Structure 1
């Protein structure tokens, strides 16, 4: 058929048939078939037989070339290249057709080949014209672009999947930017992108946990700062009271110091007075000793007088006895002795009076001696008392001296305490100022913590189920 076609072309043109062109088309590796002006197949090369599985003898000379590519009869691109139905090009090859240079057409299309399976063919239809410009034949070549098209479709699907993934992740990221930490990617991604979804959910879960912990800690910080502010206020108030109390203490210590100074001076005066008292007591003790000696001398003299009185009594007794004897003798003498008897009587009476007076003197001496003994005892006791007074005065003198020394030492100690109290008062005033500054700082901290809490509360940390997420396993 092809030979007859080319032979007719030879007769019309007056040239020899191009057997080389025929052989080239027949053996060309690109599947090729040729239609004549009537739409009949005049050439179906070996590559076309291999592609479609239809032998050339079954299709050459017929218009059933469509069976090699479609299940139902429809025009091929070579049929449309004759230009009889140009609208069919757009209808049958809407998205895959394009005009080449001149009348040539190029299209891409999925075809159901008899060999089985769908193939994506790259089709070119090139009209052959005579000298008058009339189309006398069309050569259609086909290339199997199934693998490339499948790759392109896979790439398109991948791009679409990527676009969908980017869109979904973008929406989730916008949700995160708006503070919605409950946004998770729930729709599974393609297997190659599933780790991305899991890692995103893992990151969001941990971010949600972190923000939840921060919110909780911020609440605790706010409470702690509030307590700290209250404690700082109380500390400031107590420090102020302590400063006032210390000022009063300093004033009291000043008064105590002045009192101790006066006490020290009084103790010194008392010590001097006690020294004078001890001197006077020692003099009194010496006088008492002299008095005791004098009283003893009086007692001795009374004893001597008593002895003299005893002699006088003895003399009065002897005189009375002699007067009695003289009276007896005068009585014997009668009238001659009457005058002597009177004298003897007078002497006797005088002796009796002397004896009586001697007894009185003796009684007085005994009384005087008794009183002297009592006086001696009293003077002895007075001496002992004075000695005890001297000893006690010595003890008191030591105590007063110790008291004076201790008072001086206490005065120095109080002065040191007063100085320390003044320093402590200054430190307390500084502490009060620092406590007030700490109170202001704590107030600022409370305000900042509350602002932070307000900022954190813009985040939605609840999951779709309403509970705080506990995290998911990180994708490998």
Structure 2
């Protein structure tokens, strides 16, 4: 050890350069507390000291045990013996020792090579030691073996990198001990739960895709059917307009027929009244004909009596001789007149009988006409009532069809709005499918196991 230099100073920060005077070093070596501190540091840390050029001056047992060497193998050798092949030739390595030689401290985790060839990771602090003139005379490294932690961290980083690449089947199966075993178990449980979540999300995404496809298909079909329904509704509206016009015309015609039927009923009633008057007149003619017939009989009797009287007068005139000759002429004339009266009476009788027969026939026809007119009047009244009902029904039907036409027009407006909504639904379905495709692309980055339990789990309780 150089004169006036101690490996460890009293400063609590070993990362700072330490200046140790000769008398202070002696006092430090003699102080029991300092010795105890140095002993504690020596027992719990791997300590090695170097010259500024990297030549090893000393190493404690912890360092030698950590690296697998004996003291004789390392003292006098160079620091580069602990480096991987090719590392000492790198500019960064030479710059590091140049910085240490200039008094700059170095801290960090460093990879070193064990005597067996395996890697050893240490958390170390390189501290330059200065003399009274401020010149670096020694470099002390205080280190802790963190190989186990570094190995675990590297393993965890590798697993996490695979997980970041989407491999949810990754598991941490390396043998680790202590708190690292807990980390391994937590990692495995977390990845298993993540795998289950991703599997559930993939299943949900598949369901969403199926539902989205069905929604899109239904939306397309609904849009097509809505278009067809709109066209059919347009045709229905046109037919209803024609039907409404036809019903209106039918209603007008029914109203006109109703008026004509009412007039016909009135004329039928008037005809019945005329037939009744005719029957009364024919009855009067029958009475007159009977009176004429009776008077004709009286005339016949009168002609018969006159003829008898003329015969008697002729007989008396013949008895009177010449004095009755003039009276005989008169009697002959009276007899001739009586004969003509009898002939006229017979003719009148025949005419009267014919008249009675004709009057009787006319009366029967008039009665038949009266009955027929009464039946016609009843039928006309029924027809008038029916036509009135038809006219009223036609008016109501026209009103109803007008209401239906308005409803169909309103339905057409609603259907056009529904078609717009259907088109919007188709657009939204397409957007949803695009988002599902993007979601599938994201999920495709995850590598999953073949037989996964996708049932819900309460992970917080595990």
- Give the structure-2-normalised TM-score: 0.58
Residue 90 in structure 1 maps to residue 77 in structure 2: no
CA deviation vs aligned residue, 1:296-345 (integer Å, no higher than 9, x gap): 11111122122223334445666677788899x79x97999999999999
Q: Secondary structure at the match of 2:445?
A: coil
Residue 468 in structure 1 maps to residue 452 in structure 2: yes
| Kept after mapping to 1: 8 A contact 2:200/2:454 | no
Of the three residues 239, 252, 261, the one matched with 1:252 is 239
- Residues 195 and 291 of structure 1, relative CA distance in 2, 3 Å threshold: same
Of the three residues 444, 449, 452, the one matched with 1:457 is 444
* TM alignment of 1:36-435, pairs within 5 A: 90-91=72-73, 156=145, 159-190=146-177, 192-315=179-302, 361-435=348-422
Q: Which residue of 2 aligns with 1:442?
A: 429
CA deviation vs aligned residue, 1:255-285 (integer Å, no higher than 9, x gap): 3333333333333333333333333333322
Aligned counterparts of 1:202 and 1:356: Cα–Cα separation in 2: 152
Aligned counterparts of 2:454 and 2:319: Cα–Cα separation in 1: 169
| Kept after mapping to 1: 8 A contact 2:197/2:454 | no
Aligned counterparts of 2:174 and 2:406: Cα–Cα separation in 1: 80
| Kept after mapping to 2: 8 A contact 1:278/1:394 | yes
| Kept after mapping to 1: 8 A contact 2:172/2:188 | yes
- How many residues end up aligned between the 2 structures? 328
- Give the structure-1-normalised TM-score: 0.57
- Residues 360 and 180 of structure 1, relative CA distance in 2, 3 Å threshold: farther
Q: Which residue of 1 aligns with 2:47?
A: none
- Residues 369 and 217 of structure 1, relative CA distance in 2, 3 Å threshold: farther
Aligned counterparts of 1:245 and 1:319: Cα–Cα separation in 2: 104
Which segments of 5 or more consecutive residues in structure 1 lack a partner in the other structure? 1-29, 31-76, 78-87, 96-151
Aligned counterparts of 2:349 and 2:218: Cα–Cα separation in 1: 101
- Residues 318 and 468 of structure 1, relative CA distance in 2, 3 Å threshold: same
Q: Secondary structure at the match of 2:171?
A: coil
Aligned counterparts of 1:325 and 1:188: Cα–Cα separation in 2: 184
How many angstroms does 1:179 deviate by?
1.0
How many angstroms does 1:368 deviate by?
3.1
Aligned counterparts of 1:255 and 1:199: Cα–Cα separation in 2: 80
How many angstroms does 1:180 deviate by?
0.9
Q: Secondary structure at the match of 1:163?
A: helix
| Kept after mapping to 2: 8 A contact 1:205/1:470 | no
| Kept after mapping to 1: 8 A contact 2:199/2:454 | no
RMSD, matched Cα: 4.3
How many angstroms does 1:434 deviate by?
1.6
How many angstroms does 1:191 deviate by?
5.3
Which segments of 5 or more consecutive residues in structure 2 lack a partner in the other structure? 1-34, 36-58, 60-69, 78-141
Aligned counterparts of 2:176 and 2:425: Cα–Cα separation in 1: 55
